[in-house]
Every structure is written in structure tokens, then in C-alpha cells.
């Protein structure tokens, strides 16, 4: 995607939930096959919401509805979530549109890259990685 002109920016709008889902779907399609296959086998699906619900914010001790960009909710691979269980809720990756847009507005990154990063981070939780594990991997990749 090329640079937007000043005129394009003047009329540009933030992507709605549907457009956001399309960006997330495209980011998922570009992940390495091993990640996509692990998610397909475990029935992991992504969902977009403007914000996390109050119950989620309270459970995680968030100070603001903007504190959480995404969340994996379900049974991770290390806990036996390799295949969906009959009658169980699906493994979900929630991407929170408004906090992600807020983060994007404050950083020099493409929106698709921010969404991909959050998606990968939440898939990492499904695969059993902690936040600390993922931070260490990102630091090593940056070296």
C-alpha cells in the first residue's frame, strides 16, 4: 500500500469492525504455516470488539479500557487445547479495535503491522508462551 496524500488523509476514517477483521484475516493468512495450522487444529478464531468487557478488565486488573490490545481466551496447547472439545467454547483471540487504533496513532508503525503483532502475541499465548518468553524472543530477533 502506498503513501496517502494529504487529500486522502483529510477524508480517511478509522476502519470499522468489519474492515478491522479483514486486516486481521489478511495478517493471519501471512503468518507461517506452522502457526496457521496450530490455530486451525485447535479451532482458534479471531474476533474484533471495540473494547474489552468490564469483566475482562476487572479480571486482569486493567486501569483503563485502553490498556488491553488483545486477549487469548481459551485452552492453550500446553493445557490440552490442541483439538476443540465437543461442547466447549471455541478458543478466541480478541483484538480490541479502539485500543489498537490509539496505540497506532501514538507510534510510527503501519496499522496492519500493529494488528499482526497483537495477533501473533495472542497466538503465542495459545502456543503456551508467556509475555516474558515473547519479549525475550522479540529482543533476540531484534539483535
Q: What is the pLDDT of residues 62-117, one digit of tens each?
A: 999 999 999 988 866 555 544 545 555 678 899 999 999 999 999 999 999 999 89
Helix (H) or strand (E) holding 108: none
Angle ∠(20,48,107) on CA atoms, nearest 5: 55
**Which carries the bigger pLDDT value, residue 70 or residue 126?**
70
List domains and CATH numbers for the chain.
Answer: 15-142 (3.30.2010.20)
Pairing of strands 92-96, 70-73: antiparallel
Looking at every residue in the chain, the average pLDDT score rounds to 83
| pLDDT > 90 in the chain, percent | 43
- Global pTM? 0.80
- Return the SS3 of 55: helix
Distances in Å between the alpha carbon of 120 and those of 59, 69, 117, 127, 131? Answer: 22, 12, 5, 10, 12
- Give the model's pLDDT for residue 4: 65
Amino acid at each position: 500500500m502506498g503513501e496517502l496524500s494529504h487529500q486522502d488523509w483529510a477524508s480517511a476514517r478509522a476502519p470499522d469492525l468489519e474492515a478491522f477483521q479483514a486486516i486481521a484475516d489478511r495478517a493471519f493468512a501471512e503468518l507461517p504455516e506452522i502457526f496457521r495450522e496450530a490455530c486451525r487444529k485447535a479451532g482458534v478464531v479471531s474476533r474484533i470488539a471495540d473494547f474489552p468487557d468490564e469483566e475482562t478488565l476487572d479480571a486482569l486488573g486493567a486501569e483503563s479500557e485502553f490498556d488491553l490490545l488483545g486477549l487469548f481466551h481459551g485452552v492453550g496447547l500446553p493445557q490440552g487445547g490442541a483439538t476443540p472439545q465437543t461442547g466447549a467454547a471455541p478458543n478466541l483471540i480478541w483484538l480490541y479495535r479502539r485500543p489498537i487504533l490509539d496505540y497506532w496513532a501514538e507510534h510510527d508503525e503501519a496499522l496492519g503491522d500493529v494488528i499482526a503483532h497483537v495477533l501473533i502475541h495472542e497466538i503465542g499465548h495459545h502456543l503456551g508462551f508467556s509475555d516474558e518468553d515473547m519479549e525475550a524472543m522479540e529482543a533476540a530477533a531484534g539483535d
